[in-house]
Amino acid sequence: MTATDTLTRAIGTPLARIEGREKVTGEARYAYEYQPENVAYAEPVQAHIARGEIRSVDASETLAQPGVIAVIWNENAPKLADGADAELALFQSRRVAYRGQYVAAVVADTQEAAREGQRLLRIDYVEEPHDVVLRENHPKLYTPEKVNPSFPAHMEKGNVEAALASAAASVDVTYRTPAFHNNAMEPHATVALWQDGDLILYDSNQGAPAHRDAIAGVFDLPPERVRVIAPHVGGGFGSKGTPRPQAILAAMAAQMVERPVKVAVTRQQMFAVTGYRTPTIQRMRLGADAEGRLTAISHEVVEQTSTLKEFAEQTATATRVMYAAPNRLTTHQLARLDVPTPSWMRAPGECPGMFALESAMDELAIACGIDPIELRALNDTQVDPEDGETPFSSRDLVGCLREGAERFGWAERDPTPGVRRDGRWLVGTGVASSTYPAYRRAAQASARAEADGSFVVRVGAADIGTGARTALTQIAGDALGTSVDRVRVEIGDSALPKAGVAGGSMGTASWGTAVVRACEALRAKLDDNAELPAEAEADTSEEIEQQKKRARHGFGAQFAEVRVDSDSGEVRVPRLLGVFAVGRIINPRTARSQFIGGMTMGMGMALHEESVMDAAFGDYVNRDLAQYHVPSHADVQSIEAAWLDEEDDELNPMGSKGIGEIGIVGTAAAIANAVHHATGKRVRELPIRLDRLIECA
């Protein structure tokens, strides 16, 4: 293998997206564009109350509407498997758990007729008082057993209270983040058809095999009787990591009307049924000695989940890896409210958690009179600070901070807040750290050498717009010792070798390991003069089980420059810079997109995004992108991502760490810290709205 290895090396080159042409010409088909013959359309009907029960459904007007085929609700819905995910137990109960929940559906020959039928359906409810507003003293708060996916909710070491009491400098502040809704460009959609008792779904999701398994479970079918196909997906950000009710509705309706059925989630429905980031209330306490060395770190989180199921966001877990301190406390408490179930949204946990920690570090730096970069460098650690012994496979937080400082021009910074003016604009800069774990999941893959000298690599991976297909082609090309144009990678189908979802920034690491192993096995066969076509498979379960115990995380540093209009409170972000140490970069072009995409989303979190709960109606009031604000291109001025060369041979055969999420971690804190530097105002509640910067009341 050695000779060809040095010849090719596609890894590290900026290969353009393999399906780029298909996408820009409109040839790439997304879920809703599959058009089976005789297809019907289902439109869900959403609950108009936040808590209670359906008394009756009057479908007479709906059924009289031309084109309407059926109305589905609790009374006529087929029974689904017991114990299924409660968000997917569609129409199994008359209970309403949150406003906007799917409680009925109309199936019709056309989408227009289904929509009209939906409008005409009369549902009578028994309404009960609802409880939808999270607060730090909510009587229903409890400590969950675990936080997502399986971390302890509570961790404690030493004596935080005593250390804080005797600290030379300390901060004790509470930060708040609102609910955020993931809004991928392509809303969720499913086309379902039954063929001889088998269920086929064209679906927009982050992992076909995982969706196949979950959906099979809901319908009590063996997994091999369900096939999920998702070659192209227009974004997910976590919201397509688990099946959503529209997939169940499509399959159920198709079964009932004995025709293929399409369901497209509307943008408005995405604010109810496709998950969101929980609002958080985070009390941060930090204590330091006279030199600025941390003596205590305490991070106490309050967040929400639904009455249907527990989703416990791991908000304080990043605090467990960032800085050394002998006394430590991290806790999570949840309240079960009459709201939709929160779920994964890009860097669940790290993203809101690091807003709090990295803002508090900035406040501590000021309290200690130390430069915020020096404070972070001083408290860096080379072992897991919770157990005090597990080494990091690699960790270059300080390298990122230093490199960023150099590029950003940090050295000339005067720390005094509120003193730099350019006309009516106040100018400031801020910094924050980033981190995200580098996990791997078991996966299977196959590699096949064709008689014509080309190769086909198959893995049940997903490309949700990240460029995963392209990265896997580069990985396969190098592993096979051939050029990328001779490799075709097949993904996005549950019929392919089983692999996990595009989530937790572990897609490429997990699928890539399986691809490399399958390619190695194939090369071994070819070296043995196997006849063509030849094929080999790999399963990485054992390899992953046997990996050494290490703390595996990516790190980064984010820098922001802001300008705040002293009269109007307008905030501009002329410069954002992120520097990351995340192992080997497989494709600099698509990696850069991930970083700056994450940073832009972090900027949205800092300045624009906010889902507002209407306590009276028990519902999020913003339901489209005219009311849920995300940055537009013109809001992003100079944005730059850079990375350090980081070698780490304890990760995976590529030496890579996940990069899909780290870009959003820390951005909001860097911006908030810069706003403080510019204005002297510390905004501890996101978003940093204009009115929060102007005291006009």
Partner 1 sequence: MQTPASFDYERATSVEGAIASLARLGPEARVIAGGHSLLPMMKLRLAQPEHLIDINDLEAELSYIRDEGGEIAIGALTRHVDLLKSELLAQHFPVFRDAEEVIADPVVRNRGTIGGSLCQADPAEDLSAVCTAVKAKAVIRGTDGQRVVPMDEFHVAPYMTAVNDGELLTEIRLPLFPGAGSAHEKVERRAGDWAIAAASAAVWVDRSTIHDVGIGLSAVGLTTVHLKRAEELLRGKPPSEELFQQAGQVASEDCSPMADGRGPVDYKRHLAGVLTKRALSRATARALKQEA
**Binding residues for partner 1, per CB under 8 A?**
32, 111-112, 115-116, 119, 187, 189, 264, 266-267, 567-570, 607-608, 610, 612, 621-622, 626-627, 629-635, 689-691, 694, 696-697
**What is the distance between the alpha carbons of residues 438 and 656, in angstroms, rounded to a whole number?**
8
Nearer to partner 1, 452 or 691 (CB): 691
Nearer to partner 1, 116 or 363 (CB): 116
Residue 345: which region, alpha, beta or left (left: phi > 0; alpha: psi -120 to 50)?
beta
Min separation Cβ 423 and partner 1, Å: 10
Question: For residue 652, with 0-12 CB atoms within 10 Å meaning exposed, 13-18 middle and 19 or more buried, which class applies?
Answer: buried
Min separation Cβ 110 and partner 1, Å: 9
Min separation Cβ 357 and partner 1, Å: 27
**What is the distance between the alpha carbons of residues 575 and 36, in angstroms, rounded to a whole number?**
49
**HSE of 285 in the Cβ direction (CA atoms, 13 Å)?**
18
Nearer to partner 1, 548 or 633 (CB): 633
Min separation Cβ 321 and partner 1, Å: 33
Nearer to partner 1, 110 or 547 (CB): 110
Min separation Cβ 85 and partner 1, Å: 25
**How far is CA 371 from each of CA 318, 323, 675, rounded to the nearest angstrom?**
22, 16, 16
DSSP symbol at 547: -
**What is the distance between the alpha carbons of residues 406 and 190, in angstroms, rounded to a whole number?**
49
Min separation Cβ 494 and partner 1, Å: 25
Active site residues: 661
**What is the distance between the alpha carbons of residues 368 and 293, in angstroms, rounded to a whole number?**
10
Nearer to partner 1, 225 or 575 (CB): 575
End-to-end alpha carbon distance in the chain: 71
Alpha helices, H only, 138-182: 160-165
Angle at which helix 667-679 crosses helix 350-368, to 10 degrees, equals 30
**What is the distance between the alpha carbons of residues 198 and 219, in angstroms, rounded to a whole number?**
11
Min separation Cβ 72 and partner 1, Å: 19
Count of Cβ atoms closer than 10 Å to residue 310 Cβ: 18
Question: For residue 625, with 0-12 CB atoms within 10 Å meaning exposed, 13-18 middle and 19 or more buried, which class applies?
Answer: exposed
CB 363 within 8 A of CB 198: no
Residue 573 — φ and ψ, nearest 5°? -120, 85
Residue among 638, 640, 642 at smallest CA distance from 573: 638
Residue among 250, 173, 240 at smallest CA distance from 502: 240
- Cis ω on the peptide bond leading into residue 533 (within 30° of 0)? yes
Nearer to partner 1, 257 or 694 (CB): 694
Min separation Cβ 37 and partner 1, Å: 20
CB 52 within 8 A of CB 128: yes
Nearer to partner 1, 411 or 634 (CB): 634
Nearer to partner 1, 204 or 327 (CB): 204
